[in-house]
Amino acid sequence: MTLAASENALVRAVEGRLAEEIAFLETAVDVDSATFNVAGVRDVGQCFARELEALGFATRWSALPDAMRRAGHLVAERVAPKTTGKRVLLIGHLDTILEGPGHRFERAGNRARGAGAVDMKGGDVALLFALKALHGARLLEAATVRVFLTGDEENPGTPTEISRRDLVETARHSDVALGFEPDSGKIAIGRRGLSLWSLDVSGTQGHSANVLRGSGGAGAVYEASRILDGFRRAFSGHPSITVNPGIVLGGTDVAYDFERSAGSSAGKFNVVARAATAKGDLRFVSDAERDEAKSRMREIAAASLPETSARLSFEDLVPGWPATDGNRAVLELIDAASRDLGQGKVEADDPGSRGFGDFNFIGALLSGADGLGVKGEGEHGPDETIDLTSLGPCTARAAVVISRLLR
């Protein structure tokens, strides 16, 4: 298949507005919208809202409870009475990792630095200007397209049942979704989910001369070490499940501050440890894998050393998003568009290699793909840099893919 005349017109429209697109990217990057900067996230959201309203989209702000300390999300909809093709959902996020005015847009030739330039204001801008091209070609008039730009993707508000409720509901009214996270060279048709775990171990405090002997018991530190090494043995080398202990504390006295993700411990060399705690995460592709891993971890924790006991608890934050035949069909469409545009072959990334994203929350409801954004490097760091030569091709590919879905 080659590009249709209408698709060639979309490409020309994108190319004709590239300078405007880069200028808008600079505007978006220069708004400090780190996740906890509620006002900044809303401000950058308004920048996009004005542009989407000019394309005939109805916009609204999906607010979250104040206790979450999150800005909420921008939702834009253009709904046709009779839709000719798929109802398309386009996903991005407005928040960034880096905070403060020291990470503004700085261009040097075909590259530009700035917070969120790649992850993912660059993808958001490509999404917007693809819609501008489609609107100019009057290809949105009989279409149903929804845009959902979250304000807390980098650090989702909890419980996620509330912070992602509106996204899930929007997905229920759509047929296919495209996500504009950065282009890693391959397209994501699945991602790993995330659960947190907490291990609290108790031992019998006593003289160290009696450790591992008779009534002296093993102590909490030995027991915590046994359990953590059991996790290592069980999951080391697993293709998609990982279990990571992020912090470990042990001694006669242990204190952990959840809000600060920090703690303290006290003990003496000649005293058997009374307490130990460890906090970490569990990652998996499918929810079945998650449940399997939890069961195995509980078995390991239950096999206590003498005079010890352990309590293992979990908090499920993000569901898994396994690859499906529907996702593969969307990938085929993206691949065909990429080839027709002369951009080359597009392949699927290994779901087991990807962290979570907003697509995880809707992947069970509809087919789609993620990673249609721009290219760059240094995401989440002070040297985050977009390859500006990727912006036009990314936008053109998005416009062609969306137009084929709308047919």
pLDDT digit string (tens) for 343-362?
999 999 999 887 899 999 99
Sheet of 308-318, strands arranged across: 242-251, 275-284, 193-203, 308-318
Q: State the DSSP H helix or E strand holding residue 175, giving kind and residue range, or none if neither.
A: none
100, pLDDT greater than 80 = no
CB atoms within 10 A of CB 391: 26
Instruction: Give the span between the Cα atoms of 144 and 186, in whole angstroms.
Output: 27
* Exposure b/e, 195-233, CB count within 10 A at least 16 = b: bebebbbbbbbbeeeebeeeebbbbbbbbbbbbbebbee
144: left (phi over 0), alpha (psi -120 to 50) or beta: beta
Beta bridge partners of 77: 58, 146
Q: 74, 94, 83: which is closest to 145 by C-alpha?
A: 83
- Residue 260 burial by Cβ neighbours in a 10 Å radius (0-12, 13-18, 19+): exposed
1: confidence class by pLDDT, cuts 50, 70, 90? low
Predicted confidence at residue 46, as pLDDT, reads: 98
**Per-residue pLDDT, 218:** 96
> Per-residue pLDDT for 93 more than 80?
yes
Q: What is the pLDDT of residue 180?
A: 98
Other CB atoms within 10 A of residue 363 CB: 27
> Rounded to whole angstroms, how far apart are CA atoms 13 and 203?
69
pLDDT, residue 82, reads 84
Quick one: tokens of 40? 């900044």
- Residue 115: φ, ψ to 5°: -65, 120
CA-wise closest residue to 297 among 231, 392, 208: 231
Please list the helix, strand and coil fractions of the chain in percent, rounded to the nearest 5, in that order: 40, 25, 35
Confidence of residue 83 (pLDDT cuts 50, 70, 90): confident
CA dist 14 and 369 (Å) reads 22
Q: Which domains does the chain have, with CATH numbers?
A: 5-191+321-406 (3.40.630.10), 193-318 (3.30.70.360)
Q: What is the pLDDT of residue 84?
A: 78
Whether pLDDT at 174 is above 80: yes
Interacting residues of 113 by C-beta distance below 8 A, sequence separation 6+:
103, 105, 106, 383, 384, 385
Which residues 6+ apart lie within 8 Å of 146 measured at CB?
A: 75, 76, 77, 78, 87, 88, 89, 90, 170, 173, 174
CB burial string 177-186: b at 16+ within 10 A, e below: bbbbbbbeee
Please, which residues have CB within 8 angstroms of residue 210's CB and are 6 or more apart in sequence?
A: 216, 272
How far apart are alpha carbons 257 and 66 in whole angstroms?
22
For the chain, the distance separating the N- and C-terminal CA atoms, rounded to the nearest angstrom, is 15
pLDDT at 288: 95
Rounded CA-CA distance 344/359 in Å is 25
Q: What is the mean pLDDT of residues 196-205?
A: 97
Tokens of 214: 């008779």
Give the separation between CA 146 and CA 259, rounded to whole angstroms. Answer: 35
Higher pLDDT pick, 84 / 35: 35
Confidence of residue 380 (pLDDT cuts 50, 70, 90): confident
Question: What is the C-alpha radius of gyration for the chain, rounded to an integer number of angstroms?
Answer: 25
